[in-house]
Chains A and B, each alone.
Chain A
Amino acid sequence: MLKVNSINCGIVIDHITAGKGMKIFEKLKLADAEFPVVLLINVSSNKRGKKDIIKIENKIDLDLTMLGLIDPTLTINIIENDEIINKMQVSIPEEVQGLFKCKNPRCISNFDEYAVPKFELAHKNGKIRYRCSYCEELTSYSI
């Protein structure tokens, strides 16, 4: 297996569903980073066959809502002096604002910039959908 040096201070986003690493890399705007960042894709994983990993050699602010929305199974490890000092789990967010748009073409939020809908998680089992606070239509998210 490809060897990548571990980082001694920073963040490792682990257990990313294979194929979603690139999306997260983009959303965190890591291409513009001024510090070392590694994106690993299709790494073999005991649990799930394959996974993606992102290693960031810096402490940056992570939008956990956004990460949970893209991939609720990933884990976040905060590393200091070569040790994991904090492990975080994300989850499917109950409420989301500003990360995606309402899919209803008749919704005011698609015409008026003042209308920024709050999306409430509508179905926990099975399909993940969000209910728009303005039009109440369900939107299956994609960001």
Chain B
Amino acid sequence: MNLKGRHLIDPNDFSLEEFKQVFDLADKMVEYRDAFGSVCKGKILGTLFYEPSTRTRLSFESAMLRLGGTVLGFSDASTSSVSKGESIADTIRVLDTYADIVVMRHPKEGAPMLASEYSRVPVINGGDGGHQHPTQTLTDLLTIRRLKGSLDNLTVAFCGDLKFGRTVHSLVSTLARYNANKFVFISPAELKFPEHLKETLMEKHNIEIYETESLEEVINQVDILYMTRIQRERFFNEADYMRLKDSYILTRTKLVDAKPDMLVMHPLPRVNEIAYDVDDDQRAAYFKQAELGIYARMALMALQLGVDVNVEGK
């Protein structure tokens, strides 16, 4: 269960015990952040962003800077010196001499895995196409654990585009590994949770899944409501979009029936799927979630680098 030197490409790369290790450390970092201000002194994070994602990149950079390390990298392969047509295997074998740990964002699915096969330093998948985004999953789990006190026995609803949302797929697959979690999928027929993923989950974990097109029908029964964006272009026709778009928008009015301790989560950025009047409801957890993303990444990187985290003051 030592995370030193390990890659994180897929949430399945870590056992639940290893997740716990990350979350325990993240909890300490939330409480005594300054005490960890130099644990990564002298360490360099390489940010290899083959497509721009300012939010994810800044979150990683902030995390490393808060640990006392430094960062270098590129934020858009088309304007950087990473030549087109060079294999990732070659690129990483050069870049792994410049950094002690690397985060890679790439539009092609499986690219960070390929990098990890040739890298001498830990590689973190910062999002590969529609495939995985494991540090978002870590962030989501840390948020749930801190705000609900547990990752077991929860009824978790996912609302919106469940077909293409990799955030949802990763989180569902990971929550399914914990005890007795139930899932509610709320989406229009066109954007339903993929059948093959559902089959795999049911085979492996014997979980309960309930599917519906209506948020109102289930909102009073869930512990967590995870909202996602629905993109207009995902709909087959304009009429369906117009008919359905309001059903997947969370408003303060719809929250009236919800449990008082329910959490509303969202990976951000939102477009209009959560009305602004929800923001100051006590159940709105999405800004807290974004904040905890820094701590999840700090804890993860400190453990992968194997630095001494037994700091004074904690």
| CB <8 Å contact, B88 and A106 | no
Q: Are A138 and B109 in contact (CB under 8 A)?
A: no
Bound state CA distance, A106 and B106, in angstroms?
A: 11
Would you give 9 A-B contacts (Cβ < 8 Å), ordered by A?
A108-B110, A108-B111, A108-B113, A112-B114, A114-B114, A115-B110, A134-B113, A135-B110, A136-B109
Q: Is A107 in contact with chain B by the CB < 8 A criterion?
A: yes
Contact B109 A115, beta carbon cutoff 8 Å: no
Q: Which of A104, A108, A138 contacts B114 (CB 8 A)?
A: A108
Chain B: which residue is nearest A111 at the CB level? Answer: B108
Instruction: Give B residues with C-beta under 8 Å from A.
Output: 87-89, 106-111, 113-114, 118, 128-131, 196
Task: Report whether over half of chain B's contact residues are helix, strand or loop; otherwise say mixed.
Answer: mixed
Range for the number of chain A residues in contact with chain B: 10 to 19
Please, how many angstroms separate the alpha-carbon atoms of A113 and B110 in the complex?
13
A contact face: mostly helix, strand, loop, or mixed: loop
Given contacts A115-B114, A134-B113, contact A106 B87 (CB under 8 A): no
Are the CB atoms of B130 and A106 closer together than 8 Å? yes
B residues in contact with A114, CB < 8 Å: 87-89, 114, 118
Is there an interface contact between A138 and B110, defined as CB atoms closer than 8 Å?
Answer: no
Q: Is A107 a contact of B110 with CB atoms below 8 Å?
A: yes
Q: Does A134 contact B107, Cβ atoms closer than 8 Å?
A: no
| CA A25 to CA B258, docked complex, whole Å | 65
Could you say which residues of chain B place their CB within 8 Å of the CB of A109?
110
**How many whole Å from A83's CB to the nearest CB in chain B?**
46
B114 A134 Cβ-Cβ under 8 A? yes
- Of A111, A112, A133, the most chain B CB neighbours within 10 A belong to A112
Q: Give the CA-CA distance A104 to B108 in the complex, in Å.
A: 10
Inter-subunit contact A134/B89 (CB<8 Å): no
B114 closest partner in A (C-beta): A115
With A114-B114, A138-B196 as contacts: A104 and B109 at CB distance below 8 Å? yes
Query: With A114-B114, A134-B110, A134-B113 in contact, do A108 and B130 touch (Cβ < 8 Å)?
Result: no
- Contact across chains for A134 and B196 when beta carbons are under 8 A apart: no
Distance to closest chain A CB from B130 (angstroms): 7
Closest 8 CB pairs of A and B: A134-B110, A135-B109, A114-B89, A108-B110, A108-B108, A108-B111, A135-B110, A114-B87
B196–A106 CB distance below 8 A: no
State which of B108, B114, B118 has its C-beta within 8 Å of the C-beta of A106: B108
Q: Which residue of A lies closest to B117 (CB)?
A: A114
Closest CB of chain B to A135's CB: distance in Å? Answer: 4
Residue of A nearest to B199 (CB): A123
Q: Contacts A106-B129, A108-B88, A136-B109 known; list 9 others, CB within 8 Å.
A: A106-B130, A108-B108, A114-B87, A117-B110, A134-B110, A134-B113, A134-B114, A135-B131, A137-B109
Chain A residues near B108 (CB, 8 Å)? 106-108, 111-112
A111→B128 CA distance, assembly (Å): 14
Bound Cα distance A134, B114 (Å): 8
